[in-house]
Amino acid sequence: MVVLVAQLKRVTIKEVALQAGVSTQTVSRVLNDRPDVSPETRASIHAVIDRLGYAPNAIARSLIQGRSSTLGVVAAALEYYGPAHILTGIEHQANALGYSLFLCLLHAPAADQGQALVHSLLAHQVEGILWAAPEIGSSSAWLKEKMGQFSTPVIFINTQADTRLASASIDNLEGGGQAARHLLDQGYRHLAALGGPCSWFEATQRLAGWCEALRAAGFPSEEHPVVCGDWSAESGESAMRQLLQVYPEVDAVFACNDQMALGALKAARQCGRRVPQDLGVVGFDDIPEASFFDPSLTTIRQPLNALGAQAVLELHRLIETRRQGTDNPPSSSHLLPVELVVRQSSVKNSRLLTTHKKRETDS
């Protein structure tokens, strides 16, 4: 059997102009939202565009306007909750500002693959680049060193603060501190942590904040063990079992993400530890399922979608400033706050939990 596929004829701007009874220049002015067209003519042209199904040629428009309206994104580890939701925030804000995205996935962030991806984005004439890959070891060091060689602005997401660079990050340091202070306020004294991969910047920052808060409260951090996992629930369960063996008196745990906290809850239950009576647990992320854990999980909420959106807004500011003639506009660093969300897994006193829920409802 032979199947014939008809190729649809592309509607041109000349056909739109002919049907609307105007010049192609007038149609172009309407497409570019120029003010020098009467409302009646504008409405007539849009009606013809809708009827014919006309779609402007993006490549031709970019050549005429001298801009691609495209942002390049280097991302990685999208199987994890954080990177995936940052990318969602990037997409929504880019779309709102009229940009399309050219996405490149970095499959081995610690390797040297990033240079090739960035050069590919530059070859495709992107107007700006969002480096959204997790900072693992020195994975982005080469790019930071070569920033002065690029005429295209770059913004880094969740990276070490540097006044020379544009960046947008979550306050992971404060998040770890909030977790430690909350557990101490609840009366727990034998604290420990389940860290993420020790090469990830976010993981090290959360643990650094945790340790700083312990020391500030008079608890030497070296006396409180840390067992690292790989962000998965399986690694959280394994790390919790290991922790119970080396530090059996542990009565509270900070897990550096909610998935590892889930594994910790399972291990605690199977080892006969009641949560929160015998063991307080705090996670990090506030994934949608956190309130459905048993018991519901106290966690540090990080605004991941807002982080992606903020990065796009800052990159857009740099692009527009350069278009207005400023070759090296000053960069800004944005640090987004986190929020402690108190649920059952860390509250010994149910009255305190009720009070916290009332505050959340009132706000």
Distance, CA of 171 to CA of 180 (rounded, Å): 15
Q: Are residues 207 and 248 in the same domain?
A: yes
One domain for residues 292 and 143: no
Residue 35 banded pLDDT, cuts 50, 70, 90: confident
**pLDDT over 90 at 200, yes or no:** yes
Q: Do 191 and 206 lie in a common domain?
A: yes
Given a contact cutoff of 8 angstroms between Cβ atoms, the answer to whether 219 and 212 are in contact is no
| Residue 129 is assigned to a structural domain of this protein | yes
Query: Quick check: is 1 in a domain?
Result: no
Q: Are 75 and 134 in a shared domain?
A: yes
Residues 165 and 308 reside in one and the same domain: yes
Whether 38 shows a pLDDT value over 80: the answer reads: yes
Is the predicted pLDDT of residue 60 greater than 80, yes or no? no
Average pLDDT score over residue span 84-107: 94
Asked if 99 and 275 count as a contact pair (C-beta separation under 8 A), the reply is: no
C-beta separation of 86 from 304 below 8 A? yes
Structure pTM?
A: 0.79
Sign of the alpha-carbon dihedral angle for 201, 202, 206, 207: negative
Q: What's the pLDDT band for 6 if we cut at 50, 70, 90?
A: very low
User: At 80, is the pLDDT very low, low, confident or very high (cuts 50, 70, 90)?
Assistant: very high
Chain centroid, CA 332 distance in Å = 17
User: 250 lies in which domain range?
Assistant: 173-302
Whether residues 308 and 289 fall in one domain: no
**In this predicted model, which residue has the larger pLDDT, 362 or 167?**
167
Q: What is the pLDDT of residue 274?
A: 96
Burial of 223 per CB tally in 10 Å (0-12, 13-18, 19+): exposed
Task: Give the CATH number for residue 28.
Answer: 1.10.260.40
Q: Does residue 78 share a domain with residue 50?
A: no
Across residues 293-319, what is the average pLDDT?
Answer: 96
Select from 56, 78, 107 the last residue of a domain: 56
What does the DSSP assignment read for 122-135? HHTT-SEEEE-S--
183 lies in the same domain as 290: yes
- Is 359 a member of any domain? no
The confidence band for 348, taking pLDDT boundaries of 50, 70 and 90, is confident
C-alpha span between 346 and 39 (Å, rounded): 61
In whole angstroms, give the CA distance from residue 331 to residue 162.
Answer: 10
Structural domain contains residue 109: yes
If you average pLDDT over residues 39-63, what whole number do you get? 75
**268 or 150: which carries more pLDDT confidence?**
268
Do 242 and 227 meet the contact criterion of CB atoms below 8 Å apart?
Answer: yes
147 and 294 housed in the same domain: no
Q: Is residue 232 part of a domain?
A: yes
- pLDDT tops 70 at residue 174: yes
Shared domain check, 309 and 290: no
User: Token match 């889930």: residue?
Assistant: 262
- Mean pLDDT over each residue of the chain, to the nearest integer: 87
Residue 179 within any structural domain of the chain: yes
143 and 289 assigned to the same domain: no
* Lowest model confidence (mean pLDDT) among 112-126, 164-178, 202-216, 321-335: 321-335
Q: For residue 319, what are its two tokens?
A: 């692009």
Same-domain check for residues 179 and 277: yes
What are the residues facing 254 on neighbouring strands?
A: 193, 282
The token pair that represents 158 in the structure block: 């969740």
| CA atoms of 345 and 273, how far apart (whole Å) | 12
Is 358 a domain residue?
no
We report the CATH number of the domain holding residue 211 as 3.40.50.2300
Cα(74)–Cα(105) distance, rounded to whole angstroms?
6
Q: What whole-number distance in Å separates Cα of residue 129 and Cα of residue 122?
A: 9
Look at residue 291 and tell me if it is in a domain: yes
* Number of domain units in the chain: 3
* Confidence (pLDDT) at 11: 77
pLDDT tens digits, 211-258: 999 999 999 888 899 999 999 999 999 999 999 999 999 999 999 999
